Structure 1
Amino acid sequence: MGSLRDKVNAFVEEKLRNYKVNVRGNKVIHDTILGTNLFYAHEIAVLDSPILQRLRRISQVDVVSLIWPSGNHNRFEHSLGVAIIGDKFIRSLAEKGLVKNFSEELYCIRMAGILHDCGHGPFSHMSEMLFQHCDDLKEEKKSDPKLAATNPNAHEILSYLIVTSEAFKEFYNKNIATQVWGRKMDLDFIGELIIGYISDSQKGFLVDIINGAFDADKLDYIQRDSHFTGVQMILDLDRLFYTLDVITVYNEIRSREEKRLTIDVSGVSTLEQIVFDKMMLQSTVYHHQKVRAAEGLFSSIFEEIFEHKLTVYGKQFNSAADYLYLTDDDIYNLAKQSDIPQSCSILAHNLLNRNLPKRALAISGRTVTKETVNNLWKLMRLYENPKEMKSIREKIADEAKKTEARITYKDIWLDMPKIAKFKEGDQWAIKSEGHDKGYLTLHDLFPVDQWVKAFSQNKWMGHVYTYQQYREVVHKASKKVIEDEYDIKFNDFSYICCKIQ
């Protein structure tokens, strides 16, 4: 079978085999969010490659456009944005004399921004929720010391493996370094930037720009996602760049001092904005109940593929690398496939035509009684256990069959969103010359931990979904099963909130 690294290398070889670099020089690209920006010839050569062009067909915010029609921006646009903001980071630090090798570090940061999301699968984080459980990805995470040390997200692992693959290095050195640019680039270092691995303690601040507490990735997606969904956000980037600095922090895990990215204490208000914006996007956009319903359909498509051991587009999706061969269009096209089970094509058809499951039961701190609200955590942790979630679906179906014999567990979706965790309070070092260490953490300056706790308690909401014709039956069945299994008592709002009648 081979390792995940071998499979990713094969993917890169296939995608780049017939790609002929044809770049005449630098190009100016206009971005809706960040304006007009110059991209260098060697960057254009990478951007034009099939590895990056596939990102045009992968939504930045998975199925959000089904609810916010203008939220159609893609991973390609976002990658450009991260490169542009990374450039701003380096230039801001250079103006303060904090960058030693300006050109080299500027080019590395920009290229890392371009490549940081090349490992995403169809509908971005929706497919990531599936391939993160693949055995070969788990094994790669254990066997690669850099991955074991950083515990990156699943898509970051695939991006890292693409960038550091022998096939990509050979392509880059043969076609870009020699023919387009005239200089090589340290692709291993770029891979480290993507996963947040600090091999050189003097370059820790560079890693923070791409994978850190207030990195270029966050600064772009907050602006981009809020703009295209129409959710108004405030983010004072000018203030942030003005207060940027680099400080020496002692890392207890690695037993060494490292140079890390920071801001002056006068710029803390911008960090507050970032935390608040992330929380608002999560509750308003990413965890909107209709978005979660659509994500349920997507998951069910792959549930059918796994159950019937289907080969779709030549892949069985037992490897994380298999998801690299697909984009959003391929999922929608399953609606037109005649060589797969009808149950699978119907799910894809429903997703394509926005025929979404409906709420049958709302689960939150406001829909359970005060006497049992402290037991809600038992449900909130279910996102970690897909097998238990499937078992609950089956029990709800068995209960519902007493009234409606046609129902199966496949007509029921149990959605327990991942509990919001914001590590910024501990990760952000704030320069403060009056402090013994020379810096404070964010939660030393304002109660970010309490903010996050209050957010989780008041904004988190799970649901049981089903088709329109089964809502009443499934409401009663799911209410009974969950109350019995988890010692929870629902109030009337658990029904009213679903707008069943």
Structure 2
Amino acid sequence: MSLQMLSSLPRNVVRDPIHGYIWFSEEERKIIDSPHVQRLRMIKQTPGVSFVYPGAQHSRFSHSLGVMHVAGLYALSALLNEYESHNGVYEIVKRVLAVRNWDEFLDLRQKFEVLRDIFDDVQKVRIAGLLHDLGHGPFSHNYEMAVLSEERLTHEDLTKKLIFEMKEYLENFSPNEIVKVLCYSFPGWERIRDVFMEILRKGGLEESKITEIINEYDRDFPRKCFLGAIIGGPWDADTIDFIARDGYFAGVKEYSMFDIKRLILSMRKYRYDIIPHERACYTIVAFIEARIHMFEAVYYHRTARAADRMLGCILYYLKRSDTYKDILNFDLRDLTATYLPLTDHFIDALLEQEVRRYNIKYSIERLREKRAKIRDENLYKALLFFIRLRNRDLLKVAWPLTYELPAEISLSPKEMVIPTLKEKIRQKTLKKLKLKHEPDDLLIIIDSPEFVPIKRVPYRYTEMGPELKLLTNCGELIPLKKVSPIAERIVEMSYRQFVRVYTFKEYRKSVYEATEEVFKSTRREVSV
């Protein structure tokens, strides 16, 4: 290939297995190359799933690029469709979808005035999509459950604070405008407003500045909340990408198949929300089915959940260990220095170092022999789970149950909220084992995730309400069930409450018998 041919190739383009070519501007490239975004290469998208589907080794970095790409096309389609009276609007959309790099898009922007009108909003949504997962910690959601929940924080909270710390990389983009888009996404500005204020306070921001930011967000919410729906809503860019991407890398593409471009092109800006057109009802059905298949067969697979719970236990005990508790802490006033180093690789390296230091050789027996030397009880327990994971000696389901919940209910069964349930099972298990002392690896975990087939986001300023609706040619809203009764029926039938009691294989029988007895007595107590 000649130098002339090389120079004519598009710059700032990456090849993606899901979306083909993803192009970005020079300003976006600087953000992508920042340590904040590059860190996501070292955090797996689905850490527990990889124990069932070995191909699922992809990172949150590739997912973030995918969300940026989808969010940009999503915003273009939704905003351009406001100009349906504009001659040739569909030709513009077609040409935008065919661009190979950012320079070609800028050429189109100069040619069509309508693109110049919406350019700023498209840019904000693209950057928000790129940065939406910055706050994820080691092992993704497991860190959130094991560590952040105790601080009453979420990864979304840390994401917003990290964006404010990225000023030098954002250059022409306002951190405030990017965070605003994320604040307007699911579950909505009104629900997170007070939490967001508290994050800013803990981050060291002056009260006058906090008041200024909150007032600005309140003022812009009615006009700009539709941008948040593109990142977090019933059919958002985040879900579109992770369903397709996770299915591809897990090797189950047939579970996650739906027409991404058709879904994106069907989106319309309706007042203060984003709503699909009724012509895409069959694509909506395919999207809902793909989400259901992926959650039931992949994310909530019993073995994937077992691995995730074990990763969570590792983080839980490390956070409490005298050896590493300070290392795993972070300071909201400077997350760049104290939080960015925390990755999957970092935690693995810490534990590998301990395995080597005590010459454990990935053996549970050798670990128990070295227990007196380790001294730190919480570090010992973290190593116990780490070595079991290394040997793929995972938690086993001792007692499974699936509840079917009505679509309008999103509550755990009463049995699950009785605080003494887990302790009752443990006590009965010890009696059945007939042991004088409790084994160090007797672990009983009650895992009860709910599955909601599609997020329902009733924004304050919309007419959507809790019912899923589509937009007609006449500009009116129509319930999904009227266009496709099958889709609504699928949604109603797919609400699930999974209840699984996990333990290690050597205690499986005893825990099963104990759980049976406890649940029978608990049901009697609840019914009374």
TM-score range, shorter chain: 0.7 to 0.9
Query: How is 1:291-440 mapped onto 2 (pairs within 5 angstroms)?
Result: 291-305=304-318, 308=321, 311-312=324-325, 314-316=327-329, 325-338=341-354, 341-364=379-402, 377-379=413-415, 381-382=416-417, 388=419, 391-404=420-433, 405=435, 406-408=437-439, 411-421=442-452, 422-424=454-456, 426=466, 428-433=468-473, 438-440=476-478
Stretch of structure 1 that moved more, 192-201 or 93-102: 93-102
Mapped pair 1:38 → 2:38: no
Rate the CA distance shift 1:207–1:112 in 2: closer, same or farther, 3 A: same
Q: What do the CA deviations read for 1:255-279 (whole angstroms, capped 9, x no partner)?
A: xxx3x22222111222222222111
The equivalent of 1:194 in structure 2 is 182
Preserved contact between residue 70 and residue 229 of structure 1 (Cα < 8 Å): yes
After TM superposition, give the deviation of residue 67 of structure 1 in Å. 0.6
Check the 8 A contact 2:32/2:38 in 1, yes or no. Answer: yes
- 1:268-299 per-position Cα deviation (integer Å, ceiling 9, x unaligned): 22222222211111111111000111122122
2:66 to 73, 76, 81: 81
Partner of 1:160: 160
Larger radius of gyration: 2
Instruction: State the SS of the aligned residue for 2:389.
Output: helix
CA contact (8 A) 1:482 1:488 kept: no
Distance change (3 Å), C-alpha of 1:105 and 1:68: same
SS at match of 1:484: helix
- Please report how far the alpha carbon of residue 408 of structure 1 lies from its aligned counterpart in structure 2 after TM superposition: 4.8
Displacement of 1:135 in angstroms is 3.5
AA aligned to 2:393 is N
CA distance in 2, matches of 1:52, 1:263: 31
Residue 444 of structure 1 and its aligned partner are, at CA, apart by 5.3
Matches within 5 A, 1:216-227: 216-227=237-248
Q: 2:45 aligns with which of 60, 67, 74?
A: 60
CA offsets, 1:395-435, max 9 Å, x none? 22221222321545852232333212233483754212558
- Work out which of the residue numbers 272, 280, 285 in structure 2 matches 1:267: 280
Give the conservation status (yes or no) of the 8 Å contact 2:471–2:477: yes
Instruction: Give the TM-score normalised by the residue count of structure 2.
Output: 0.69
Paired letter, 1:362 = P
Does residue 502 of structure 2 align to residue 471 of structure 1?
A: no
- What number of residue pairs does the alignment pair up? 408
What CA distance in whole angstroms lies between the structure 2 residues aligned with 1:488 and 1:289? 29
Please state whether the residue corresponding to 1:114 is helix, strand or coil: helix
Residue 480 of structure 1 corresponds to 517
Distance 1:409 1:416, change over 3 A: farther
The Cα of 1:319 is off from its aligned counterpart by 7.9
Once the two structures are superposed, residues 367-412 of structure 1 have per-residue CA deviations (whole angstroms, 9 ceiling, x without a partner) of xxxxxxxx99224x54xx8xx3xx4333222212223215458522
**C-alpha separation between the residues in 2 aligned to 1:136 and 1:240?**
35
1:115-161 CA distance string (max 9 Å, x none): 11111111212222234523363xxxxxxxxxxxxxxxx22222112
Shift of 1:58: 0.8
Structure 2 CA distance for aligned equivalents of residues 89 and 309 of structure 1? 48
Q: 2:225 aligns with which of 204, 226, 229?
A: 204
User: What CA RMSD, in Å, does the superposition of the two structures yield over aligned residues?
Assistant: 3.1
- 1:451 maps to which of 486, 490, 493: 490
* C-alpha deviation, 1:353, in angstroms: 3.3
For residue 33 of structure 2, what is the aligned residue in structure 1?
48
**Aligned counterparts of 2:129 and 2:274: Cα–Cα separation in 1:** 17
Q: 2:25 and 2:42 mapped to 1: Cα distance?
A: 23
Residues 334 and 348 in structure 1, CA contact (< 8 A), matched pair in contact too: no
Question: What SS does the aligned partner of 1:402 have?
Answer: helix
Contact 1:335–1:349 (Cα < 8 Å) also in 2: no
- What is the deviation of 1:475? 1.6
Correspondence 1:185 to 2:185: no
Counterpart pick for 1:242 among 265, 268, 271: 265
Shift in CA distance, 445/411, structure 1 to aligned 2, threshold 3 Å: farther
* 3-state secondary structure, aligned to 1:133: helix
The whole-number CA distance in structure 1 between the counterparts of 2:76 and 2:518 is 58
Instruction: Using the TM superposition, give the Cα deviation of residue 462 of structure 1 relative to its aligned residue in structure 2, in angstroms.
Output: 2.2
Letter in structure 2 aligned against 1:455: S
For residues 430 and 133 of structure 1, what CA distance do their matches in structure 2 show? Answer: 36
- 1:58, 1:328 within 8 Å by CA — same for their partners in 2? yes
Partner residue of 2:119? 103
**Counterpart Cα distance in 1 of 2:69 and 2:146:** 31
Give the SS at the match of 2:495.
Answer: helix
User: Take 1:70 and 1:359, find their aligned partners in 2: how far apart are those partners?
Assistant: 24
Give the conservation status (yes or no) of the 8 Å contact 2:396–2:505. Answer: yes
- The one of 125, 128, 149 equivalent to 1:112 is 128
Unaligned runs of 5+ in 1: 1-24, 138-153, 178-183, 249-257, 367-374, 490-501
Indicate the larger mover: 441-450 or 30-39. 441-450
SS of residue paired to 1:134: helix
Tell me how far 1:216 sits from its aligned partner: 1.0
Distance change >3 Å, CA 307–CA 89, structure 1 → 2: closer
Aligned equivalents of 1:455 and 1:185: distance in 2? 41
TM-score (norm 1): 0.73
Change (3 A) 1:394 1:94: closer
Q: Which runs of 5+ in 2 are unaligned?
A: 1-9, 84-113, 190-216, 355-373, 405-410, 457-464
Amino acid at match of 2:451: A
Amino acid at match of 2:18: I
Q: 1:263 to 1:471 in 2, by over 3 A?
A: closer
Cα distance in 1 for residues equivalent to 2:330 and 2:493: 38
1:91 CA displacement: 3.3
Assess if the C-alpha contact under 8 Å between 1:361 and 1:464 holds in 2.
yes
The 3 A distance-change label for structure 1 pair 305 and 128 is same
- Residue 251 of structure 2, aligned match among 230, 254, 259: 230
Distance 1:26 1:192 in 2: 30
**Worse-matched range after superposition: 440-449 or 102-111:** 440-449
C-alpha contact (below 8 Å) 2:445/2:503 kept by paired residues: no
Q: Give the partner amino acid of 1:215.
A: D
Q: CA deviation at 1:352?
A: 3.3
Q: C-alpha separation between the residues in 2 aligned to 1:86 and 1:365?
A: 35
Answering whether residue 136 of structure 2 is matched by residue 125 of structure 1, we say no
